[in-house]
Amino acid sequence: MDLENLNFKVITNEGAKCGFCNKILKPKGLDYLYANVSKDYIEYERCNCKDAIKFWKEYDLKLYKDEQQKKYKETINKIYNDNFLKKRLQKYNFENIDFLNIETIKIIENYTKECIKGKMKDGIIIYGNFGYENTYIAACIANKMIENDKIILMEKSSSILDRIKESFNKNTISELELIELYSNIDMLIIDDFASEIFSKWAVDELYKIINNRYENELPIVITTRYTKEELISKISSETDLKDAKDLVQILYKMCYGVSIVNSDFDNKNQVEKV
């Protein structure tokens, strides 16, 4: 249904009628006999016919989503002094990639398109030996989504954790608000995942965010230099093996793997479902 189309009501001389079933709609809040109010500003009761109920349900949902988006944008403005994607990264786009084969680029581009449509609930783990190339691809996804007015954050896991820690001392934003932000924005990209040592607290916080996105059916992009086994062993160095496994497990449950490692230098990159 087209929400921009306001034909759900038809203004006539007797007042407004439901655009779906022609029922006369009562104006809301007009308890005086006459006022020089422009017809455009008069609000009418909502009709209770099937089509009108469907219309208003979608209308309210869109309104709710718009308000959430506005709230997240405000939160981001509050906590990020600079643009949330660094200047250098802003230039990266799919057309400029020269280190990936076309097939792989196409897969990632299509993935990004589905994310823009809001139809993608799977994530991607971008695996490669070189941090630069991983970051480049992630930034392409980010830039494309920003171009399409999506709310994205691209951060290193350490900086996500630092922001949560900061929230304990500053009263500009609470830990809960931050977790809500990371859990609900259109796209969260965690760059160079697990390049640092995670404490048990850090693993718990990251698990919360990633699991929330899984439950909310929202995508995530992870770039990392580590394979699944390496991730588990790296993360478990300062925390329980079980917690480390749970964190990696949830990521692998919700993500496709894109490997950009040139194992035999023939410039062939593999893409596989993990």
Report the interface residues with Zn ion, using CB under 5 A: 18, 20-21, 23, 47, 49, 52
**Closest distance of CB 44 from Zn ion, Å:** 11
**Closest distance of CB 23 from Zn ion, Å:** 5
Q: Which is nearer to Zn ion, 18 or 188 (CB)?
A: 18
**Closest distance of CB 22 from Zn ion, Å:** 7
**Closest distance of CB 47 from Zn ion, Å:** 3
Q: Which is nearer to Zn ion, 21 or 197 (CB)?
A: 21
**Closest distance of CB 43 from Zn ion, Å:** 16
Q: Which is nearer to Zn ion, 53 or 197 (CB)?
A: 53
Q: Which is nearer to Zn ion, 18 or 89 (CB)?
A: 18
Q: Which is nearer to Zn ion, 8 or 111 (CB)?
A: 8
* Non-local CB neighbours of 225 within 8 Å, separated by 6+ positions: 127, 128, 129, 130, 131, 134, 192, 195
Q: Which is nearer to Zn ion, 49 or 76 (CB)?
A: 49
**Closest distance of CB 30 from Zn ion, Å:** 20
Q: What is the 3-state secondary structure (H, E, C) of the chain?
A: CCCCCCCCEEEECCEEEECCCCCEECECCCCCCCCCCCHHHCCECCCCCHHHHHHHHHHHHHHHHHHHHHHHHHHHHHHCCCCCCCHHHHCCCHHHCCCCCHHHHHHHHHHHHHHHHCCCCCEEEEECCCHHHHHHHHHHHHHHHHHCCCCEEEEEHHHHHHHHHHHHHCCCCCHHHHHHHHHHCCEEEEECCCCCCCCHHHHHHHHHHHHHHHHCCCCEEEEECCCHHHHHHHHCCCCCHHHHHHHHHHHHHHEEEEECCCCCCCCCCCEECC
